[in-house]
């Protein structure tokens, strides 16, 4: 890709697939510029910012962006995390994992290389979500995302600068974005994000009836989001699962209603 061409965000054989980069509450304009430059390097053009600092053409952002100052940076959209979650298959980045199979906020996680292999054969619009310079993405934010990745680094000091982390991640994923790389054929088309979010809502409604303990419901919701995020379900699979849990909720409502209508033993006598 020539330095004057903007990346399309799609790889060879995936003309309809969209990749976007989302930065949540960046504190330093320079890091936004660095990320925009890395996007330009590796074939992406769609940058979205959640609560960004003021970025003008005299700021560090434009100084650090290189040729991305011509297209990627000035065309960045300001969005909310809600909009991103509702629209894309979301992948959050974290340096601190520190969990195991008993919890599902930061576990299971993939390396960027493992994510590349996973996304190469799935047709889905994906948002790569990066957090703040100082604290990264919060647990509450990660709970809402579909997958988590972490860059393998020195365990004694795994935390990377925001711009560096984005650059490494986009480098590892470059074969998904650049037409010069030959990608395998798509195995199947992933369900629309709205259908997946509808399933999460139905699953949550089912848990409201089936599980009275708040912490158990929250854990189950995190687990199912991680499971579905890794599975890349088809539209038919999502429709079927949503229907199963809707039917289960309806049956539970019917049983509750019947219990309320049934006379107690004293009345029967």
Are 202 and 245 a contacting pair, CB within 8 Å? yes
pLDDT of 41 above 70: yes
Q: State pLDDT tens for residues 163-183.
A: 999 999 999 999 999 876 555
Instruction: With a cut of 60, say whether residue 265 has pLDDT above it.
Output: no
Query: Longest C-alpha distance within the chain, in Å?
Result: 88
Residue 203: pLDDT over 60: yes
Given a contact cutoff of 8 angstroms between Cβ atoms, the answer to whether 119 and 18 are in contact is: no
Average pLDDT, the chain: 85
State the number of CA atoms in the 13 A half-sphere of 192 facing the CB: 4
> Residue 266: is its pLDDT beyond 70?
no
| Higher-pLDDT residue of 98, 183 | 98
Q: Kindly report the pTM of this predicted structure.
A: 0.69
Kindly list the structural domains of the chain, giving each domain's residue range(s) and its CATH number in brackets, ordered by start.
Answer: 19-176 (3.40.1280.10), 191-268 (no CATH)
Q: Is the dihedral of CA 238, 244, 248, 254 positive or negative?
A: positive
């Amino acid at each position: 890709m020539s330095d004057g061409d903007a990346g399309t965000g799609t790889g060879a054989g995936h003309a309809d697939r969209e990749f976007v980069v989302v930065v949540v509450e960046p504190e330093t304009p320079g890091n936004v510029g660095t990320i925009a430059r890395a996007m330009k390097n590796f074939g992406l053009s769609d940058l979205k910012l959640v609560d960004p600092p003021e970025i003008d053409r005299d700021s560090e952002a434009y100084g650090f962006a290189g040729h991305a100052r011509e297209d990627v940076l000035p065309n960045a959209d300001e969005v909310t995390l809600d909009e991103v979650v509702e629209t894309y298959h979301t992948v959050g980045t974290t340096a601190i994992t520190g969990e195991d199979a008993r919890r599902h906020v930061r576990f299971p996680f993939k390396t960027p290389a493992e994510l590349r292999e996973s996304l190469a054969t799935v047709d889905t619009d994906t948002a790569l979500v990066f957090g703040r310079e100082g604290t990264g993405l919060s647990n509450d934010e990660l709970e809402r995302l579909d997958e988590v990745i972490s860059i393998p680094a020195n365990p004694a000091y795994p935390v990377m600068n925001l711009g560096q982390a984005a650059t490494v991640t986009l480098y590892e994923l470059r074969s998904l974005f650049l037409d010069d790389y030959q990608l395998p054929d798509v195995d199947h088309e992933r369900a629309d994000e709205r259908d997946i979010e509808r399933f999460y809502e139905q699953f949550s409604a089912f848990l409201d009836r089936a599980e009275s303990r708040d912490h158990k419901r929250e854990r189950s919701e995190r687990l199912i989001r991680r499971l579905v995020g890794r599975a890349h379900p088809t539209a038919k699979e999502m429709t079927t699962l949503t229907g199963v849990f809707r039917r289960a909720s309806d049956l539970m409502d019917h049983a509750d209603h019947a219990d309320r209508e049934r006379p107690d033993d004293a009345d029967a006598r």
